[in-house]
Chain A
Amino acid sequence: MSELITKTAAELADALAAGETTSVELTQVHLDRIAAVDGTAESGVHAFLHVDAEGALAQAAESDARRAAGESRHLLDGVPIAVKDVLATQGLPTTCGSKILEGWVPPYDATVVRKIKDAGLPILGKTNMDEFAMGSSTEHSAYGPTRNPWDQTRIPGGSGGGSAAAVAAFEAPLALGTDTGGSIRQPGAVTGTVGVKPTYGGVSRYGLVALANSLDQVGPVTRTVLDSALLHELIAGHDPRDSTSVDAPVGSYVAAAREGAKGDLAGLRVGVIKELAGDGWQTGVMERFAESVDLLREMGAEVTEISCPSFVHAMATYYLILPAECSSNLAKFDAMRYGLRVVPDGDPSAEAVMKATRDAGFGDEVKRRIMIGTYALSSGYYDAYYGQAQKVRTLISRDFTAAFENVDVLVSPTSPTTAFRLGDKLDDPLAMYLQDLATIPANLAGVPGISVPAGLADEDGLPVGLQVLAPALADDRLYRVGAAVEAALTTRWGGPILSLDKLDLREAGAR
């Protein structure tokens, strides 16, 4: 096993620039790592649904040829990346973790995929996820769960458990995720990685198979704050194909991360969200969070408690808006044009084929949300459910606006608990939904958020995440604060939270 896999993307970029390694070598060592630890649906990390060794190596060879000719398209040109299976990749299967899209190969690239391809990042493969991004554990993948590299009996978070686990297990230095209610940040928290949900509209959604269009956002999944900043700058920006993308200059995230790493937060006003604590919040999570807040004070930040009273309704609001949008989005999966097609015996009519295909192709959680959403949009219920939820959504946005009049950033634990055991919450959807209690408000309001490792909980030795939230289009603040915390804690710990010796990868025969 090569030591190269433990390097950050920024370090790999430097090594490529210095001619100390090649993209083909980098890509190959990560492919080897995947082969060693990723395993199958039954055992191993199972972060990947599809590995494209041939394609990745071809892209890597092109990158090396460019570099040999004295050209480079981007700082990250040649650094391999993993892509969540909810993003359309031309020529590569895109299943969204669902049987209904088994074997579908998109004829086009998502805008973010086009951007990473154009920048020269070899795509290692597509990562596992809860079906259509519905879940907080990746157990709702139709292709079997992803396991947490820290403890393979535990969940890696979700829906983007595959991207987070791939990065945590050193199978990829970078990954793309999507975050609708916490699907980048919560997996980041429970796997000891960094995940960023950009401002809504900051990154194009074209080619992202929508879960809930008004909440979805593509973002970076990495092991360091600087790496996230590098990837974020690459994928951000206005896209004429996405009307909801913001036509504003991309922020200086890398500069903000470098500035933050110096550890000086003098004058920064930090608000601790009062509502995101209390019953149901794991002791070890709250302890690490309290330490992080102390650390912010030590670095010069002025910390106050802030009340966001409408946040207590965020969960209910989210679980009306999301199912409503997804019930409509998922209607297109009807066997008429692509994907699974089930023809019932004796009745080949379009209606019968649609019913049979959707019955066979969608999992229980997907069906649950389609039913809730269909109901919430129905005549006579719309005002009471969807309409009311939109009003509460406005109130939540106002809470953020009011808070950001007094503070520069808000902080909370990313997730109420550390990684729970596989199967623990499968029969209790509401308990599963509560995993996203702290992350959902940002999606409802469209503001950006980051999760950075805050240490390990004493009771189970598992990672805890610190969430930092900033006003819309002030994503640079996430990087400044995130990098400061990361730098201070790494110094305190004497090294990064993630290291090969801490991971539970024996079952897959890694060593």
Chain B
Amino acid sequence: MTEVLVPFDEVVEKFDPALGLEIHVELNTNTKMFCGCPAVFGGEPNTQVCPTCLGLPGAMPVVNGKAVESAIRIGLALNCEIAEWCRFARKNYFYPDMPKNFQTSQYDEPIAFEGYLDVDVEGETFRIEIERAHMEEDTGKSSHVGGSDGRIHGADYSLVDYNRAGIPLIEIVTKPILGTGDKAPLVAKAYVSAIRDLIVALGVSDARMDQGSIRADVNLSLAPKGSGVLGTRSETKNVNSLRSVERAVRFEMARHAGILLGGGAVLQETRHFHENDGSTSSGREKSDAEDYRYFPEPDLVPVAPSREWVEELRATLPENPATKRVRLQGEWGFTDLEMRDTVGAGALDLVEQTVAAGAAPQAARKWWLTELARRANDAGVELTELSVTPAQVAAVQALVDAKTINDKLARQVFDGLLAGEGTPEEIIAARGLAVVSDEGALSAAVDKAIAENPDIADKIRDGKVAAAGALIGAVMKEMRGQADAGRVRELVLEKLA
């Protein structure tokens, strides 16, 4: 069946979108949610398992206290109430990657509930209301071998790796997000981004969407413009990048509108997102209407965090990322665009640390967002993964400020740093990068350039100062870059005055 996709402008003209987001955050605790196995990504399949996380007969769960602590901190950061008493519950359904054929989760008694998070989209603030944040265990990971698309249908056989089974997850569920209109895709993206920033600031997860440590499920429904009702929703599972979140919302809006305008009814179902073309398709593996037969987990005692503990944890909360951004932008004097680019590049903390190490904010921003961003991009890694530290960037900038090197030489210093050739000073010495300050050599080079470019020299003599650039370039070339361009300019203009 070919889907009718309605143009976005028409969708928002005729419908009100309602968003709902469920975000799973994989915690970075040392051990799993209910046993002592290491909770780390990767590893040889089925090596980080024990009777409990394999669901062997007779084995029992024990709650990981550190995971409860992380859950409470996330709840507090989302302005939630923290339950005085709550229980785990079994979510019953059969699936081979679930060792017990039930997931130990929380149902009607979440650890955190009734919170909110404000996100800014194009200057407008949206308050996203958080319904709940609850604790649960991850499932194993199935891989389907054979067949065309790696899906279970058509596969020859399937393999299950239970290393992931039992890794602690926090699921953060919003209330329906209304009134976003044409900004719905951007609000969804901004919300997921804000959650990621918060998780990073809390230090409770690796927060790597590409590795699945943050996974978003996007719910969307449309209702006739101004009707004030909620339409039937679809749930697009495992949308694993910020851009994909935006695209998934956009696609589902277009698809729902196509169905509704054609007189059809939207099916309440699970959808898969396809990165290649930004579309979604129906997921048949698990029905949304399934009855999970929740009931309280009888092998665990209730979690009852004392108010004293909750207040202790509240005191450990980092500055809210949004508040922090406003503060830093003021301190640094960045424009909105500069600030957005800095955040977008994931360079906020790096710039902050570089400034703290003594560099001017604009200089710090310049290095991270241009020179170093390019290198990270070339290497296919995150900025934070480059082997250049904020302290080193500040040291290089200090050398530029002292005119020991210029910007062009600084780039070679970064080459040296990335190649592990030592400190900036050592690299300058070893590579012979210091600016030539010998006036005699410089003067000779300027004379040579004037002699070789009589036409340009004449223009400058005639007052066309802008032409000086060509001569400066020639001098710099002659000096193999190791000259202070400002001084060269002065010499050229002196000699041709």
Residues of A within 8 A of B (CB): 87-88, 94, 96, 101, 104, 106-108, 110, 205-210, 212-214, 240-244, 324-325, 327-328, 331-334, 336-338, 350-351, 354, 374, 377-379, 382, 386
Q: In whole angstroms, what is the CA distance A148 to B13 when docked?
A: 80
B110 smallest CB distance to A (angstroms): 18
Which chain A residues lie closer than 8 Å to B102 at the CB level? Answer: 328, 331
Name A386's closest neighbour in chain B (CB-CB).
B295
Q: Does B295 contact A328, Cβ atoms closer than 8 Å? A: yes
Task: Scan B466-481; emit 1 where CB is below 8 A from any A CB, else 0.
Answer: 0000000000000000
Q: Does A354 contact B94, Cβ atoms closer than 8 Å? A: yes
Q: Describe B's contact surface by its main secondary structure.
A: loop
Q: Does B301 contact A243, Cβ atoms closer than 8 Å? A: yes
Q: In whole angstroms, what is the CA distance A38 to B181 when docked?
A: 78
Q: In whole angstroms, what is the CA distance A324 to B92 when docked?
A: 11
Q: Does B300 contact A (CB under 8 A)?
A: yes
Task: Scan B326-356; emit 1 where CB is below 8 A from any A CB, else 0.
Answer: 0000000000000000000000000000000
Q: Does A106 contact B56, Cβ atoms closer than 8 Å? A: yes
Name A338's closest neighbour in chain B (CB-CB).
B56
Which chain B residues lie closer than 8 Å to A241 at the CB level? Answer: 60, 62
A337-B54 contact, Cβ under 8 Å, with A332-B101, A379-B291: yes
Central interface residue in A240, A241, A333, by most chain B CB within 10 Å:
A241
6 new A-B contacts at CB < 8 Å, known A243-B299, A337-B56, A354-B94 = A88-B58, A101-B57, A206-B58, A207-B58, A336-B96, A337-B54
A282 smallest CB distance to B (angstroms): 34
Which chain A residues lie closer than 8 Å to B158 at the CB level? Answer: 350
Q: In whole angstroms, what is the CA distance A110 to B58 when docked?
A: 7
Which chain B residues lie closer than 8 Å to A243 at the CB level? Answer: 60-63, 299-301
A165 smallest CB distance to B (angstroms): 23
Q: Does B321 contact A (CB under 8 A)?
A: no
Which chain A residues lie closer than 8 Å to B94 at the CB level? Answer: 331, 334, 351, 354
Within 8 A of A (CB), among B54-109: 54-63, 90, 92, 94, 96, 99-102
23 contacts between A and B (CB under 8 A): A88-B56, A107-B51, A108-B51, A205-B60, A206-B58, A207-B58, A207-B59, A208-B58, A209-B58, A213-B298, A241-B60, A242-B62, A243-B61, A243-B62, A244-B300, A332-B55, A337-B56, A337-B99, A377-B92, A377-B293, A377-B294, A378-B291, A386-B295
Q: In whole angstroms, what is the CA distance A386 to B295 when docked?
A: 9
Name A377's closest neighbour in chain B (CB-CB).
B293
Q: Describe A's contact surface by its main secondary structure.
A: loop
* Contact with B90, one of A87, A328, A334, A338 (Cβ below 8 angstroms): A328
A248 smallest CB distance to B (angstroms): 14
Interface residues on B, range: 20 to 34
A214-B58 contact, Cβ under 8 Å, with A328-B90, A332-B100, A336-B96: no
B194 smallest CB distance to A (angstroms): 34
Q: Which 8 A-B pairs have the closest CB atoms?
A: A331-B101, A213-B298, A377-B293, A214-B298, A209-B57, A207-B58, A88-B58, A209-B58
Which chain A residues lie closer than 8 Å to B96 at the CB level? Answer: 334, 336, 350
Q: Does A374 contact B54, Cβ atoms closer than 8 Å? A: no
Q: In whole angstroms, what is the CA distance A350 to B90 when docked?
A: 22
Name B93's closest neighbour in chain A (CB-CB).
A331
* Contact with B295, one of A94, A337, A377 (Cβ below 8 angstroms): A377
Which chain B residues lie closer than 8 Å to A328 at the CB level? Answer: 90, 92, 102, 293, 295
Q: In whole angstroms, what is the CA distance A336 to B139 when docked?
A: 14
Which chain B residues lie closer than 8 Å to A94 at the CB level? Answer: 57-58
Within 8 A of A (CB), among B169-202: none
A430 smallest CB distance to B (angstroms): 25
Central interface residue in A208, A325, A386, by most chain B CB within 10 Å:
A325
Q: Does B117 contact A (CB under 8 A)?
A: no
* Contact with B57, one of A325, A332, A351, A386 (Cβ below 8 angstroms): A332
Central interface residue in B51, B54, B294, by most chain A CB within 10 Å:
B51
Q: Does B376 contact A (CB under 8 A)?
A: no
Q: In whole angstroms, what is the CA distance A417 to B121 when docked?
A: 75
Q: In whole angstroms, what is the CA distance A96 to B295 when docked?
A: 25
Within 8 A of A (CB), among B150-177: 158, 160
Which chain B residues lie closer than 8 Å to A334 at the CB level? Answer: 94, 96, 101
Q: In whole angstroms, what is the CA distance A332 to B293 when docked?
A: 15
Q: Does A213 contact B295, Cβ atoms closer than 8 Å? A: no
A331-B100 contact, Cβ under 8 Å, with A107-B51, A206-B60, A337-B54: yes
* Contact with B298, one of A110, A207, A325, A350 (Cβ below 8 angstroms): A325
Which chain B residues lie closer than 8 Å to A327 at the CB level? Answer: 92, 293
A244-B301 contact, Cβ under 8 Å, with A328-B295, A377-B293: yes
Q: Does A331 contact B59, Cβ atoms closer than 8 Å? A: no
A300 smallest CB distance to B (angstroms): 40
Q: In whole angstroms, what is the CA distance A206 to B60 when docked?
A: 6
Q: In whole angstroms, what is the CA distance A145 to B431 when docked?
A: 88
Q: Does B160 contact A336, Cβ atoms closer than 8 Å? A: yes
Q: In whole angstroms, what is the CA distance A336 to B161 when docked?
A: 12
B178 smallest CB distance to A (angstroms): 27
Task: Scan B189-222; emit 1 where CB is below 8 A from any A CB, else 0.
Answer: 0000000000000000000000000000000000
Name B54's closest neighbour in chain A (CB-CB).
A337
Q: In whole angstroms, what is the CA distance A240 to B58 when docked?
A: 15
Which chain B residues lie closer than 8 Å to A207 at the CB level? Answer: 58-59
Which chain A residues lie closer than 8 Å to B57 at the CB level? Answer: 88, 94, 96, 101, 104, 106, 209, 332-333, 338
Q: In whole angstroms, what is the CA distance A214 to B301 when docked?
A: 11
Name B51's closest neighbour in chain A (CB-CB).
A108
Which chain B residues lie closer than 8 Å to A382 at the CB level? Answer: 293, 295
* Contact with B58, one of A87, A331, A337, A374 (Cβ below 8 angstroms): A87
Which chain B residues lie closer than 8 Å to A88 at the CB level? Answer: 56-58
Name A113's closest neighbour in chain B (CB-CB).
B58
Q: In whole angstroms, what is the CA distance A108 to B56 when docked?
A: 10
Name B155's closest neighbour in chain A (CB-CB).
A349
Q: In whole angstroms, what is the CA distance A337 to B161 when docked?
A: 11
Which chain B residues lie closer than 8 Å to A104 at the CB level? Answer: 57
Q: In whole angstroms, what is the CA distance A24 to B60 when docked?
A: 35
Which chain B residues lie closer than 8 Å to A336 at the CB level? Answer: 96, 160
Q: In whole angstroms, what is the CA distance A325 to B298 when docked?
A: 8
A23 smallest CB distance to B (angstroms): 27
Which chain B residues lie closer than 8 Å to A332 at the CB level? Answer: 55, 57, 99-101
Q: In whole angstroms, what is the CA distance A374 to B57 when docked?
A: 20
Which chain B residues lie closer than 8 Å to A208 at the CB level? Answer: 58
Which chain A residues lie closer than 8 Å to B294 at the CB level? Answer: 377
Within 8 A of A (CB), among B259-312: 291, 293-295, 298-301
Which chain B residues lie closer than 8 Å to A212 at the CB level? Answer: 298
Which chain A residues lie closer than 8 Å to B99 at the CB level? Answer: 332, 337
B84 smallest CB distance to A (angstroms): 19
* Contact with A213, one of B55, B100, B291, B299 (Cβ below 8 angstroms): B299
Q: In whole angstroms, what is the CA distance A386 to B293 when docked?
A: 11
Central interface residue in B57, B61, B90, B100, by most chain A CB within 10 Å:
B57
Which chain A residues lie closer than 8 Å to B291 at the CB level? Answer: 378-379
